[in-house]
Amino acid sequence: MAVAAPDRQRYEALRAIEEVARQLVAQIARGEGPYLEVPVRTLANIIWDPQSKLLKLGPRKLRRDFLDAGEARKFMQTVLMMSLLARAIREGDYPTIRDLYYAGKHTIEYTDEYGRARKEETWDVQKESDSVIQDIEVLTGFLREQMGILHDTKGKIVGRLTIRSGADVIDCSRMGDGAYSIPPNPDALEVLEVDAEYVLVIEKDAIFNRLNKERFWEKHRCLIVTGKGQPDRSTRRMVRRLWEELGLPVYVLTDADPYGFYIYSVYRSGSITLGYESERLATTGARFLGLTITDIYDYKIPRNFIIKAKDRDLKRAKELLNYPWFRSSKEWVKQLQLFLEKQEKVEIEALSGYGFKFLTERYIPEKLSTGAWIE
C-alpha cells in the first residue's frame, strides 16, 4: 500500500491541473481573456504564523492575464508546463525538473510589429521553467514531489533506520562509510523499524562524514542527517517525517554565523521562496543545538580560530532580526545582537582546536544533557 498512496496523489494532482485548465477554457469559450490567480511567492506575501510557528503564504494573489502583454509569456509558460505535468502523469513517466525544461523548450517564430521575422524560446533558462512549476504547485495545492517530479537531491541519512523504498528494504545502519541518499519524494518511503532517541541534523557534509566515520549514531543511538548547506525539499520532508511520525526530537548543528542560523530556521519554519509548502516541510519543533555566538565565549574558542564578520554577514544578521520568526524569540535576538556587537563568527571545526573528538565526545553530549539549545 506504500506505493499506491503516492500514485493516488499523482492522479489527484492531475485532476487539479485539469480543473485549472478547464476554468481557462471556460473563460475563453465565454469570450473572456483567460487568467490565472497565482499566489505571490515573495517575502512581501510571506506571513509568519506564531501560533503554528510556520512561514505561510499570505493572501496576495497575482492575476496572470493572458491578454496582459507583461504577463502573456508567463501565462504561456504556465499552461505549457501544466500540459507537460499532465502528460508525465498520464503516461506514467517520472521526469526531473530538468527533463521538463527540455521537454517544453522550443522556438516560437513570429513577425514583430515592424514586420521583421523573429524567434523566441518558450523558456531560455531552467530557472524560468522551475519558477512556473512552483506556480503550479501553489495553484493546484500539490507539490511537485506529489506529482512524481524528480530533482537533484543532496540529503543523506545514516542510523538505525529500516525503510522500504519501492520493492527494496534498506537498512540505513549498513551503509559503511557512505550514507543513504534521501530520494526526491520521501513520502514514498515506508519506515519499517527505527532505533534512535533523536535526530541530529548537520549543516556541513564534512562534519556529517566525520560523525559517520566515528559511528556517532551508533554510540549515541541517533540518526544523523545532512542537507549539505541549504537543505532541499526532500531532506526537509524527511526530517519532518522523522519528527512528526516517529516522535523523534530534532537538533540542528551549524556554524556560528547568520547563514547557519538561517539554515536552522528553514528546517524549523520554512523558507521564503517555498513558503507555500512549509506546512508539509517545516519541523516546528526543531532545536538549535549550536554553535551559538555565546558558545564562542563560553567554550573559550581560541582567538586565532575566530573569524571577523564580513559586511554581508552583518547585513544578513540585520535581515534576520527583521524576520518575525527570529524577532519573536528572545534568545535569537540576544544571539544576533551579540553577533552584531562582537562582529565575530566561528565554524564548527573551530572546536577541533580542543582535539578532534571534542565535538562528539564533549560538546554535543554536554549540550544535549544540559538542554542548552535554542528553540
Partner 1 sequence: MSEQYRQLSPSEFFYRNREVAGFSNPTRAVYQAVRELVENALDATEMHGILPDIKLELREEGDGSLTLAIEDNGIGIPSSEVPNVFGRVFYGSKYVLRQSRGVFGLGVKMVVLYAQMTTGRPVKVRTATARSKFVYEYEVMIDVEKNIPVIKSLKISRNDSKWHGTRVELSMRGNWVQAKKRVEEYVRRTALIAPYARISLEAPDLVLRFERSVEKLPPAPKVGRPHPKGVDIEMLRMMVERSKRSTPLVEFLVENFDGVGPVTARKFCEWAGLNPEMKLRDLKVSDLELLALKMQEFSGWRRPKASTLSPLGEELLAEGVRAVLNPEFVTAVSRAPSSYGGHPFVVEVALAYGGAIPPAERPLVLRFANRIPLLYDEGVDVSVKVVTEKIDWRTYKVEFPAPLAVVTHVCSTKVPFKGVGKEAVADVPEIESEIEAGVRECARRLRLHLSRLERLLEAKRWRVTVGKYVEDVSRALSYITNYDEEQLRSRLVELIRSRSSRGGR
Among residues 122, 126, 173, 329, the one that binds partner 1 under rule CB under 8 A: 122
105 part of the interface to partner 1, by CB under 8 A: no
Residue 89 or 309 having the CB closest to partner 1: 89
Catalytic machinery residues: 102
In the complex, minimum distance from the CB of residue 274 to partner 1, in angstroms, rounded to a whole number: 25
Among 13, 80, 201, 374, binds partner 1 (CB under 8 A): 80
The nearer residue to partner 1, 3 or 26, going by C-beta atoms, is 26
- The reply on whether position 33 binds partner 1 by CB under 8 A is yes
Q: Restricting to residues 137-166, which ones interact with partner 1 according to CB under 8 A?
A: none
Binding to partner 1, residues 49-78 (CB under 8 A)? 66-69, 72-73, 75-76
Question: How big is the site for partner 1, counted in residues (CB under 8 A)?
Answer: 33
- State in angstroms the smallest separation of the CB of 75 from partner 1: 7
One-letter amino acid at 294 equals T
Nearer to partner 1, 3 or 28 (CB): 28
Shortest separation between residue 112's beta carbon and partner 1, angstroms: 6
Between 119 and 213, name the residue whose CB sits nearer to partner 1: 119
The answer to the question of residue 29 lying near partner 1 (CB under 8 A) is yes
For partner 1, the closer of residues 1 and 114 by Cβ is 114
Least Å distance between CB 240 and partner 1? Answer: 31
The residues binding partner 1 (CB under 8 A) are: 17-18, 21-22, 24-25, 28-29, 31-34, 66-69, 72-73, 75-76, 79-80, 82-83, 86-87, 108, 110-113, 120, 122
